[in-house]
Amino acid sequence: MTRLSKLTAALFTGVMLAFPALGTELRIGLQDDADVLDPAQSRTFVGRIVYTALCDKLVDVSPTLEIVPQLATSWEWSADATVLTMKLREGVVFHDGTPFNAAAVVANIERGQTLPESRRKSELASVSKVEATGDYAVKFTLKSPDVSLLAQLSDRAGMMVSPKAAKELGAVFGSKPVCSGPFKFVERIQQDRIVLEKFPQYWDAKNIFIDKVTYLPIPDTTVRLANLRSGDLDMLERLAATDYASVKADTKLTSAETVGIGYMALYANVANGARAKNPFGEDKRLREAFSLAIDREALNQVVYEGTSVAGNQPYAPNSPWFNKDIPVPARDVDKAKALMKAAGHEKLDIELQVPNNPVAMQMMQVVQSMVAEAGFNVSLKATEFATLLSEQTAGNYQLSRSDWSGRVDPDGNLHQFVTCKGGINDVKYCNPEVDTLLNDARKTPDTAVRKQKYDAALKLLDQDMPIIYLGHQSYIWALNKNVTGFVASPDGMIRLPGVKKG
């Protein structure tokens, strides 16, 4: 080779070696800004999306909602569901080099239970003791049988942070989170961006094809989509249902969708304070009439362009926990009117509290006009979200529109809402039979037995109807065509292993 060509070859090689430094960056548009980046304190949905890349958990969830290994490789319940033993993955390190082991798990669980600012206390309430039975084995001892714990460990309660960093930073851990996920924390500018970069020592690094992830909170759905179209974003979450058709028609974009595990519902104040003392709160026939006057399929079409699913239970019709004996009712105005007459009210005034975002307002206006035909005169009270929460808790409402983002374990969509001492029981419904059924359902890992109990509880709830379920939204992601490998998951999370760009 001549000297010139040798030089050129050397230059070329040098340039090629430099290229990996540029790396692939994935820019993801989020609906909101995450709050504190500390799994123990965090309480936002988008926070969980960020953790999916930043913090590994003991167990994860498959797209079919089965519990699969992540930091724990296997687990076993005792026969009476009071002891959970787990074997942990070996060779895992945290982003700061601290090794992951049983001691770390114990430290994390205890942190979730004892850190004063921890929001995980109610999730870990059933754990009375957690101990390391070996370097890579832990044992959870529960106060009372509770199989839903496993699902809790697939979410924030099971996220493992570096005990060293947690000890150093304490409550301000969120300023520099150190976990063991596929990506490590680079920087976070509130309301602007959260930047993570690939962690080379991740235990499954061979499946990570992205070098840098940037999460950008862009609340306006139109602007978020505009960013995707212009190439400033590679993917976005929660595409507005009304944009779905145009994204599908766009050859430069692809979409992924799945029905979510949450639900949309109306909470009726049946026993929460003075405002419960009204015909609607006291007579279940009126509530049933209200429910029958709603055309759930039409709602789905009008508000969500057919992307959502009509429902009448906390679980979607395609969920294994759906009670097939209580199918989603079709609209029946005549029956509704008959029920109302039997209850003694041909016309009834109701105040419906709605969070003042456009989609919720639109949906409730449609409901308003639907139930008007049966004789319900609904007045809508648009309330800011923060106010709506406290009004609901305080019982200062008649009917309130509220969503739940959903939990993997069926217990998570029901227990706290309808048991007598349930922590989020804003309707203050209390039926000892339902309590027994739901508590029993926690006591065994046997799915068939659990289904029986939930079916029975759902039947009772359907008769009393303290909560009128409307349906289940789908999560819709829009992606640039060159982003491949993304699998839609009913919990709404963005899992990055396997995702490639270009």
Partner 1 sequence: MTMIETVTPPVTDRASDGSRAWRKMKANKSALFGLFIILFFTLLAIAAPILPVPDPLATSWSAIRKAPSAAHWLGTDDIGRDILSRMIFGARASLMAGVFSVAIAVGIGVPFGLVAGYFGGWVDIVISRVTEAFLAMPFLITAIALAAFLGPSLVNAMIAIGLSAMPIFVRLTRGQVLSVKTEDYVEGARSVGLGHLDIMLRYILPNVMPPIIVQATLTIATAIIAEASLSFLGLGQQPPAPSWGSMLNIAKNFLSQAPWMAMWPGAAIFLVVIGFNLLGDGLRDALDPREA
Partner 2 sequence: MFAYIGKRLLLAIPTLLIISIFVFSLQKLLPGDPILALAGEERDPQLLEFLREKYRFNDPVVYQYFYWIGAVLRGDFGISLRTNQPVLELILEKLPVTLQLATMAMFFALIIGIPAGIIAAVKKNTWIDYLANLVALTGLSIPNFWLGIMLILLVSVNLGWLPASGYESLFVDPVRSLKTMIMPAFVLGNALAATLMRHTRSSMLTVLQADYIRTARAKGLSSQEVILSHSFRNALLPIVTLTALLFGELLAGAVLTEQIFTIPGFGKLIVDAVFNRDYAVVQGVVLCTALGFILMNLVADVLYVLLNPRMRAAL
Please state, in angstroms and rounded to a whole number, the distance separating the CA atoms of residues 152 and 58.
10
Nearest to partner 2 of 21, 386 (CB atom) = 386
Strands (DSSP E) found in 165-320 = 183-189, 193-198, 212-217, 235-236, 253-259, 263-268, 309-310
Give the one entry of partner 1, partner 2, none that residue 91 binds, where binding means its C-beta sits below a cut-off of 5 to 8 angstroms depending on kind: none
Q: Out of 390, 447, 463, 482, point to the residue binding partner 2 (CB under 8 A).
A: 390
The nearest distance, CB 387 to partner 1, in angstroms, is: 8
- Closer residue to partner 2, CB minimum distance, 171 or 326: 171
Rounded least distance, CB 381 to partner 1, Å: 8
Based on the shown chain and the rule CB under 8 A, indicate whether residue 242 belongs to the binding site for partner 2.
Answer: no
422, 415 contact by CB (below 8 A): yes
Report yes or no: 269 and 281 within 8 Å, Cβ to Cβ: yes
Q: Phi first, then psi: what are they for 104, rounded to 5°?
A: -65, -40
Q: Which residues are within 8 A (CB) of 436 and not within 5 positions of it... i.e. 6 or more apart?
A: none
User: From partner 2, partner 1, none, which one binds at residue 302 (CB under 5 to 8 Å depending on kind)?
Assistant: partner 1
- In contact, 282 and 263? CB cutoff 8 Å: no
Taking each helix axis from N to C terminus, what angle separates 358-372 and 296-304, rounded to the nearest 10 degrees? 150
φ, ψ for residue 212, nearest 5 deg: -145, 135
Of these partners, partner 1, partner 2, none, which one is at the site of residue 242 (CB under 5 to 8 Å by kind)? partner 1
Residues of this chain, 122-141, that bind partner 2 according to CB under 8 A: 122-123
- Say how far apart CA 377 and CA 350 lie, in whole Å: 6
- By CB under 8 A, is residue 232 in contact with partner 2? yes
Strands (E), 409-485: 467-472, 474-480, 483-484
Q: Which of residues 396-415 bind partner 2 (CB under 8 A)?
A: 404-405
Residues found near partner 1 in the complex (CB under 8 A)? 220-222, 240, 242-243, 245-246, 298, 301-302, 356-359, 361-362, 365-366, 368-369, 380, 382-384, 387
Q: What share of the chain is helix, strand, coil (3-state, %, to 5)?
A: 35, 25, 40
Q: How many residues bind partner 2 (CB under 8 A)?
A: 50
Q: What's the full length of the chain, in residues?
A: 502
Residue 13: exposed, middle, or buried by beta-carbon count in 10 A (0-12, 13-18, 19+)?
Answer: exposed
65 binds, among partner 2, partner 1, none (CB under 5 to 8 A by kind): none
Among 83, 171, 338, 359, the residue binding partner 2 under the rule CB under 8 A is 171
- Give least dist CB 157 to partner 2, A: 10
- The option from partner 2, partner 1, none interacting with 413 (CB < 5 to 8 A, set by class) reads none
- Chosen from partner 1, partner 2, none, partner binding at 286 (C-beta under 5 to 8 Å by type): none
For binding to partner 2 (CB under 8 A), which residues are involved? 33, 35-37, 41-43, 116-119, 121-123, 171-172, 174-175, 189-192, 216-220, 222-224, 226-227, 229-232, 384-391, 393, 404-405, 416, 423-424
